[in-house]
Structure 1
Amino acid sequence: MNSSFVVKRIVLLSTLATAPVLAQETPSEAEAEAERIQEKASVIASITTDRGIVTRAGRFVIEPAFSYANSNSTVVAIEGYTVVPALLVGLINISEVQRDIFVGAVTLKYGITSRLETTVRVPYLSIDEDLRERQAFQGTPVDTLSESSGEGLGDAEATIRYQFNDGLAGWPYILGTLRVKAPTGEGPYDVDRRVLEDSEGNPIGVAFSERPTGSGFWGIEPGLSFIYPSDPAVLFGNLSYTYTIEEDEGFENGGTIDPGNIVRFGFGMGFAFNERTSFSLGYDHSVIPKTDVEFDNDLNNAQFDRIQVGSLAFGLSHQLTADTSLSLSVSIGVTENAPTTELTLKLPMAF
């Protein structure tokens, strides 16, 4: 054998033996990276609405939250008839309503398994409302002012969330939700009401003497949500349907109220500035069908129009410690029945 060939082969083998080995990701490192991505995506999706990935098995989370919502609306009520298109005979009542709502809530989350999570939320509300009215065509510049307020326990919620997959092979995380809302707050038909009258003593409407803090109805809400990490962004969305159980509210002549079921959907995106700070932007919309009021005598049955509630929300989240984060979100109403603005501050702490 050629001696030069033998020398070259020995040198080559020696070089390979002493060459640095390329770093390869171990299974434990890959799992840690997947868990980091999952937690980051969950935080981003939960900044504006609670739709993150389920809590890890055995982990307990306490989330105190505080929110403030303000709404202003002007309502024009017309009672009369039109003689010609430009001439109206009757009464026009113009009302301006300003409402401030403060909500303090505590949410408890617990991861039962790696796929299953349970949540309980208990809110406490304080509501202040100012109503200013003026009757047009009455020849008076005087406004009728009235105030009402209320505070107390709101409607408590219990939720079970299940994660169907691990978000592998290019699939988004898909989660199913079942939420039950109990009428623990004081409903609209549990508080006193007063009749509003014009300057001549004629009734023109009904107002609450005290603001209700709850809906007064049981609600069952199944839904689906998805979270799709797409570096550097995270896409998310949700769709749900709330079935509201009609109730007999104890009218003098008997009858029931069906407040209508609710269709909710939302979508948005967010991204992380760094390992500790994240940003989110989303849109949420609720469609509330017509409310039916049925009396036993069928004489005063009523049906109220469908309501559209849409809001655009954005927020920031900052990781304070390994188990604690702070998030602030701002929601702006884009439909007539949505709150004008809403600020929400959350401080989830994991144990």
Structure 2
Amino acid sequence: MVFLSLLLPWHEGFAEELNNVDLLKEYKKLLAEQQKEFQIQRKIIADQGQELQQMKARLDALSNQAPSNKQAAENPKKPVVTAAASQRSAPPPNQLPDKPVGKDPTEHKGMQRPPEIPRLSETVGGVLTRKGKIAIEPSLQYGYNDNYRVFLDAYTFIPAIAIGLIDIRQIKRHTMMASLAARYGITDRWEFELRMPYVYRSDSQRSRPVDISAATDETFNASGSSIGDLEIATRYQLTSGANGWPILVGNVLTTVPTGKSPFDIEYVNAQGVPGATYPSELPTGVGYFSFQPSITALYPTDPAVFFGNISYNYNTETKQDFGTFDPGDAIGLSFGLGFGINDRTSFSLGYSHRHVFTSAVNGEEIEGSELDIGQFLVGYSFKYSPQTTFNLSLGIGTTDDAQAVNLNFRMPMTFDFISADL
């Protein structure tokens, strides 16, 4: 009994110790599970933080892209610097740069080339030829005019009675001119041009003298074909178009009388119309030198271009058998609007008016020799390839002295003549 009494306390302590060991194992197992769960939660938080950083980076990129696009639209030639590139190029905070950073806002932005619009005349439209390139331009022009003229070779002794020849004529005139031009770009701002035309003209005149009571009309036809007057032109871009100013282009056009002169034409007496004379052939030139300086202004407002031109035409005197003939000088004005439909097609609308002053023979002015030539202009342009463009222009006469219709088709083709790097 004594032995059992001694063994019982030892057995109870051992059982309690065994219970403590099992509890410790249970706690360790629970702690391991909690640590595993904590690692999973920490990984999820890390992944979410990474996604948050990516979303923030995308937001910053979109925020920087918006003002960059606006800046590029306002000035397409100015390079756009992003925030990331600015940070990479910036010097360390504690180090001063050894040269200026950025650009002076007053720095010259460079020469802007004149915009290309359908060519309406030799001084309005087209585009300056680039340096080292040559443009070959074949063209075909057609003109038509139809008007009535009253010829009075008589004298009056009271306002209602005239003695002499009174002749009423209807004149229909067709003119075809094929020409070949070559333009060369001396620099990107300066070009030189030569143009040689070949002219064919045909006149049909229907006449009825009223003083001899003719019962039928008399018809007389005349024609002429030969080379026309040689044209020499040069154009130079004067301004860059920066700071809201228009682009100004100076033009000088010289006409050399290489065609058949009207002063060399012989006139013959008309059959059936006493006292009336008609030309045996038609001239293909004007018969005198001409110089025409002008200024063209272009103001681009994408997608439209406003343009205007003012010119003065100086015609030189010429000595003929009948004396010294001084053709009247002329002053001209044209204006309009060009509009780009897309990157290959454009059209333009405009108006041109030229006033020709009185001509004179031996210092005596010729009454009624003043002319006012007005035309409504429409032009179309299609860029067939990077080197070739189709250009069609139409002029509709708005005054009695202007041609009724003037249709002109041009096809400039640009080639490399001399490398621009030379």
TM (norm. structure 2) is: 0.71
318, 336, 346: which is aligned to 2:382?
A: 318
SS in 1 for 2:263: coil
- The equivalent of 2:41 in structure 1 is none
- CA distance in structure 2 between the partners assigned to 1:88 and 1:218 by the alignment: 40
Is the counterpart of residue 289 in structure 1 residue 349 in structure 2? no
Contact 2:123–2:294 (CA<8 Å) still a contact in 1? no
SS at match of 1:51: coil
Partner letter of residue 290 of structure 1? T
Q: Does 1:190 find its partner at 2:231? A: no
- Residue 209 of structure 2 is matched in structure 1 by 135
Provide the C-alpha distance between the structure 2 equivalents of 1:97 and 1:148, rounded to a whole number of angstroms.
11
| Identity between Structure 1 and Structure 2 (%) | 31
- 2:398 maps to 334
Point out the more displaced range, 75-84 or 12-21. Answer: 12-21
> How far off is 1:81 after superposition?
2.0
Amino acid at match of 1:170: G
Q: Which runs of 4+ in 1 moved over 3 A?
A: 9-19, 21-27, 31-35, 47-50, 82-85, 87-91, 195-199
2:76 corresponding residue in structure 1: 30
Matches within 5 A, 1:57-136: 57-78=131-152, 79-81=154-156, 83=158, 91-136=165-210
1:263 lines up with 2:336 in the alignment: no
Which residue, 51, 55, 58 being the options, matches 2:124? 51
Partner of 2:240: 166
RMSD between aligned residues: 3.0
Q: Give the C-alpha shift of residue 250 in structure 1.
A: 2.9
- Distance in structure 2 (CA, Å) of the matches to 1:38 and 1:130: 47
Q: Is the 8 A contact 2:123 2:296 kept in 1?
A: no
Q: Deviations over 1:84-110 (max 9, x none)?
A: 65x656542101110000010111111
Structure 1 counterpart SS, 2:117: helix
In the alignment, is the contact (CA less than 8 A) between 1:48 and 1:313 conserved in 2? no
Structure 1: gaps of 5 or more residues: 1-6, 296-300
Show structure 2 runs of 5+ residues with no match: 1-45, 80-108, 416-422
More helix by share: 2
Q: Which residue of 2 aligns with 1:298?
A: none
Aligned length: 329
Q: Contact 2:143–2:176 (CA<8 Å) still a contact in 1?
A: yes
Instruction: Tell me which protein shows more strand as a share of its residues.
Output: 1
Q: CA deviation at 1:83?
A: 3.5
The residue aligned with 1:277 is 345
Whole-angstrom CA distance in 2 between matches of 1:276 and 1:179: 29
What is the deviation of 1:224?
Answer: 0.6
Amino acid in structure 2 at the alignment position of 1:213: T
Q: Distance in 2 between matches of 1:88 and 1:194?
A: 25
The secondary structure found in structure 1 opposite 2:343 is coil
The residue that corresponds to 1:3 in the other structure is: none
Kept in 1: contact 2:360–2:366 (CA 8 A): yes
Structure-1-length-normalised TM-score: 0.84
Q: Separation in 1 of the partners of 2:377 and 2:294? A: 20
- Is the Cα–Cα contact under 8 Å of residues 161 and 178 in structure 1 kept in the other structure? yes
Contact 1:248 1:257 in 2 (8 A): yes
Q: 1-side partners of 2:411 and 2:282: how far apart?
A: 28
The answer on whether the counterparts of 2:123 and 2:251 sit within 8 Å (CA) in structure 1 is no
Name the counterpart of 1:307: 371
Q: 1:152 aligns with which of 222, 226, 229?
A: 226
- Deviation, 1:14, is 7.0
Secondary structure of residue in 1 paired with 2:366: strand
Question: Which amino acid is the alignment partner of residue 334 of structure 2?
Answer: G
Q: Is the 8 A contact 1:237 1:267 kept in 2?
A: yes
The whole-number CA distance in structure 1 between the counterparts of 2:280 and 2:308 is 40
Following superposition, the deviation at residue 13 of structure 1 comes to 7.4
1:311 corresponds to which letter in structure 2?
Q
